[in-house]
Amino acid sequence: MSSILNLKEAERKAFRSTFQDGLWDIYLGLLLLNWGIGLLLSKDVSELWTMVAMLALALLDMLAFWAGKKFITAPRMGLVRFGPARKAKVKKVGVLLSLSVLVGVIMLVIGLAVGRHPPEWASYGWIVPAGVFGVNAIVVFGLGAYFLDFYRAYGYGWLYALAFPANIMLDEYAGITFPLAYFFSAGIMVLIGVVFFLRFLRDYPLPAEEA
Amino acid sequence: MATAQTGKGDLHPLADIDRVIHAPARLMVLTYLYVVESAEFVFLMRLTGLTWGNLSSHLSKLEEAGYVAIEKEFRGKKPHTMLRLTDEGRAAFREYRQRLKQVLDDLPD
């Protein structure tokens, strides 16, 4: 009885239930995958078209996420509106993510510029954008995980953070130009998401009756 | 509840406890509704693990007591049964929690 009267835990449990469909995992994984695809494209097309393609892919990911939540999760899990404290936390995470995306885009532009027209410091220059990208990812995902009680995001922060330098190191020291690190990190996230998603579909079939 | 004691470990407040809330299933429902603004019937069913019929019957009792408001909402063409705690329900739950906590805290080890 004491656990059911632990209101903070009850609220957390209610909120965490919104992550058990695995769609956030898949979505975050696909966003990282876009970076890998962007790098692949940048070898053949201009920076502008690479950016356009990445933006289009990001919009597609968002659309798929929204559709999944609306047409798959909501009918199975039901809708819920959380209280003001939780709404404020979600808002904070929204602001953090927007800032993070901005930093990410700046890093991408720098990365593409360095890749196409390597300056003299290029051999070590990648450490700066990779470091900023990594710290940005760890901090933002960490804060997101903390505020949203979405604990898997701690690990995803590290997968994002390591993908950038790992990819450059694979290129520089092993001669692997394919963006393997992005695909590997993104693949782990998507795979985890798919497992959660399948479990969600198994555990929460469409309810048979209407209330 | 048959024999009430006095002083430390007084169990009298238990006799006055709100029995509408005290049933485990209804307590679960009210706890979850207390921590959210509103929730759909299906969401509560998933969270509590109650069956459709079971949850329906408990909600009817809570609605009768004036603790829960049940509203039909339309999103597009689809109806959704949304549930929220009334002010009366919120106050009753707070009082229930206070009373139960007091009784349990006063019990000797």
pLDDT at A96: 83
Q: Would you list the DSSP string of B19-81?
A: HHHHSHHHHHHHHHHHHEEEEEHHHHHHHH---HHHHHHHHHHHHHTTSEEEEEEEETTEEEE
A75 in helix, strand or coil? Answer: helix
Choosing among B43, B52, B97, which should be mutated to test the A contact, i.e. which has the most A CBs within 10 A?
B43
Contact criterion met (CB < 8 Å) for A211 and B44: no
Letter string b/e over residues A9-40, b meaning 16 or more CB atoms within 10 A of that residue's CB: ebbebbbebbbbbbbbbbbbbbbbbbbbbbbb
Spatial distance between the Cα atoms of A68 and A22, rounded to a whole number of angstroms: 10
Q: B73 to chain A: nearest residue by CA?
A: A79
pLDDT digits (tens, 9 = 90+) for B90-109: 999 999 988 888 888 777 77
pLDDT at A124: 60
Give A82→chain B minimum CA distance, Å: 4
Q: Is the pLDDT of residue A84 over 70?
A: yes
Contact criterion met (CB < 8 Å) for B42 and A1: no
Residues of chain B with pLDDT under 50: 1-6
Spatial distance between the Cα atoms of B42 and B32, rounded to a whole number of angstroms: 13
Contact indicator for A15, B42 with CB cutoff of 8 Å: no
CA dihedral (A28, A30, A32, A33) in degrees, to 10, reads 170
Chain B interface includes A81 (CB < 8 A) = yes
Domain membership flag for residue A81: yes
- A96 vs B51, which has greater pLDDT? B51
Give A174→chain B minimum CA distance, Å: 50
Residues 6+ apart with CB under 8 A from A80: A14, A18, B36, B38, B39, B40, B43
Backbone angles phi, psi at B84, to 5 degrees: -145, 155
Q: Which region among A24-38, A115-129, B59-73 has the lowest average model confidence (pLDDT)?
A: A115-129
Domain membership flag for residue A15: no
pLDDT at A136: 85
Spatial distance between the Cα atoms of A82 and A195, rounded to a whole number of angstroms: 27
- B67 vs A17, which has greater pLDDT? B67
Backbone angles phi, psi at B68, to 5 degrees: -125, 135
Domain membership flag for residue A12: no
CA atoms A146, A149, A152, A153: torsion sign: negative
Domain membership flag for residue A209: no
Domain membership flag for residue A3: no
Report, as an integer, the average pLDDT of A87-107. 82
Report, as an integer, the average pLDDT of A33-61. 90
pLDDT digits (tens, 9 = 90+) for A178-195: 889 999 999 999 999 999
pLDDT at A133: 79
- The rounded mean pLDDT for chain A is 85
ipTM reported for the complex, 2 dp: 0.78
Report, as an integer, the average pLDDT of A96-121. 70
Report, as an integer, the average pLDDT of A109-137. 68
Q: Which domain holds residue A50?
A: 20-203
Number of domains in chain A: 1
Spatial distance between the Cα atoms of B32 and B44, rounded to a whole number of angstroms: 8
The class (CATH top level) of B19-101 is: mainly alpha
Spatial distance between the Cα atoms of A195 and A193, rounded to a whole number of angstroms: 5
Tokens matching residue A168: 């450059």
Domain membership flag for residue A2: no
Q: A76 to chain B: nearest residue by CA?
A: B42
Q: Which region among A69-73, A74-78, A122-126 has the lowest average model confidence (pLDDT)?
A: A122-126
Domain boundaries, chain B: 19-101
Contact indicator for A137, A165 with CB cutoff of 8 Å: no
